[in-house]
């Protein structure tokens, strides 16, 4: 392991920081692998009940490290499908499947796959100075890391196409107005707000949160009938959890619940 990713756990929250600030935290293979390892460890650790993903320095993430894509240093065109198959797609799937809430604190520019990795997280907060850029079209590429899926669902076809085709930046305020992210915060307050949110989530019924993630993800493609069936099945599981028992008991006893995240 090198230090392309920094990890710290505080009060039930694991803070994972992309740490290549001189490249605006652009992804190289090493950072991909270290990020995946950090998320696996966070998923496995009982001491972690929520994750914050952020970037070091003035940017969140500038997507793929283009230094590793210099055509002058290559024998022929690269197979970018391999990178997606082996690095970006597993990362997006891992974030979405993590059985703990993932809060993204977008501290600065999020470009290319960097923007779409942010959108893979469960709740996205951004510094007011941050921008989201679907930079792909400037390189002749297609938005990846789930970008075409996220943009189309969150914004509709008109805005999704315009952003993907023009690669124009979207400000944090615009991203909130359009429903692309949850909240924009003053730059200096971003980490405090992200930590407050993640800490609140980390003391909540985290088993139930994982079921909520599953239901909302499935809603993107399910019919209403399918979703009603899924809600029945998930509620059955939630209703058997320690946290449900504690939540109802605490309500009836007029006290704050003490959730453990146990199923
Ligand atoms: O290839 C595959 O495997 C397929 C997968 C593709 C996924 C993708 O993400 S493709 C899209 C790749 N990303 C981009 O095209 C974004 C490129 N960066 C930019 O357009 C700009 O840097 C930003 C708009 C993000 C920020 O602009 P600005 O003016 O604030 O900063 P800057 O001066 O351009 O960048 C600061 C430094 O970071 C600079 O280095 P230097 O000159 O100070 O030594 C710059 O080269 C470096 N940097 C920024 N982005 C990247 C990067 N270095 C390598 N790769 C980058 N993506």
* pLDDT, tens only, 117-167: 999 999 999 999 999 999 999 999 999 999 999 999 999 999 999 999 999
Instruction: Kindly report, residue by residue over 238-256, the tens digit of the pLDDT.
Output: 999 999 999 999 999 999 9
Q: What are phi and psi of 102, to 5 degrees?
A: -115, 115
Q: Is 247 in the pocket of ligand 1 (CB under 6 A)?
A: no
- State the pLDDT at residue 26: 98
Q: Does residue 142's CB lie within 6 angstroms of at least one atom of ligand 1?
A: no
Tens-digit pLDDT profile for residues 162-192: 999 999 999 999 999 999 999 999 999 999 9
Sheet with 102-106, strands from edge to edge, namely 5-10, 13-18, 50-55, 102-106, 123-127, 183-185
Place of tokens 């009982």: 46
Mean pLDDT of the 2-17 span:
95
- Residue 8: is its pLDDT beyond 80? yes
Query: Do 76 and 97 form a contact (C-beta atoms < 8 A)?
Result: no
Q: Where are the domains of the chain?
A: 5-202, 206-252
- Residue 20 near residue 69, CB atoms below 8 Å: no
Q: Is the pLDDT of residue 1 over 70?
A: no
For domain 5-202, say whether CATH 3.90.226.10 is its number.
yes
Which numeric CATH code is attached to 206-252?
Answer: 1.10.12
Percent of the chain at pLDDT > 90 equals: 98
Q: What is the pLDDT of residues 25-70, one digit of tens each?
A: 999 999 999 999 999 999 999 999 999 999 999 999 999 999 999 9
pTM check: above 0.85:
yes
Strands (E), the chain: 5-10, 13-18, 50-55, 59-61, 102-106, 109-111, 123-127, 131-133, 170-171, 183-185
Same topology, domains 5-202 and 206-252? Answer is no
Predicted local distance difference test score (pLDDT) of residue 263 = 87
Distance (angstroms) between ligand 1 centre and the Cα of 84 equals: 18
Structure confidence by residue, pLDDT tens digits, 230-242: 999 999 999 999 9
Task: Tell how far the Cα of 103 is from the centroid of ligand 1, in angstroms.
Answer: 24
- What residues contact residue 49 under an 8 Å CB cut-off, 6+ apart? 12, 13, 100, 201, 202, 203, 206, 261
Cβ of 24 closer than 6 Å to ligand 1, yes or no, is yes
């Amino acid at each position: 392991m090198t230090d392309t990713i920094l990890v710290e756990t505080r009060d039930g929250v694991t803070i994972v920081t992309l740490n290549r600030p001189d490249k605006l935290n652009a992804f190289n293979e090493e950072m991909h692998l270290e990020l995946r390892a950090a998320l696996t460890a966070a998923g496995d650790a009982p001491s972690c009940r929520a994750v914050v993903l952020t970037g070091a320095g003035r940017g969140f993430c500038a997507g793929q490290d283009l230094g590793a894509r210099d055509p002058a240093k290559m024998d022929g065109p690269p197979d970018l499908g391999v990178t997606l198959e082996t690095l970006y797609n597993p990362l997006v799937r891992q974030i979405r499947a993590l059985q703990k809430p993932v809060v993204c604190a977008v501290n600065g520019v999020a470009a290319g796959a960097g923007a779409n990795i942010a959108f893979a997280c469960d709740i996205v907060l951004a510094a007011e100075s941050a921008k989201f850029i679907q930079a792909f079209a400037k390189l002749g590429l297609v938005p990846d890391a789930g970008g075409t899926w996220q943009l189309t669902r969150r914004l509709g076809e008109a805005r999704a196409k315009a952003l993907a085709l023009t690669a124009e930046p979207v400000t944090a305020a615009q991203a909130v107005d359009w429903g692309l992210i949850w909240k924009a915060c003053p730059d200096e307050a971003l980490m405090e707000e992200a930590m407050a949110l993640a800490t609140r989530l980390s003391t909540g019924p985290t088993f139930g949160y994982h079921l909520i993630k599953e239901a909302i993800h499935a809603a993107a493609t399910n019919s209403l009938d399918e979703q009603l069936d899924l809600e029945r099945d998930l509620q059955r599981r939630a209703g058997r959890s320690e946290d449900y028992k504690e939540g109802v008991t605490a309500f009836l006893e007029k006290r704050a619940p003490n959730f453990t995240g146990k199923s």
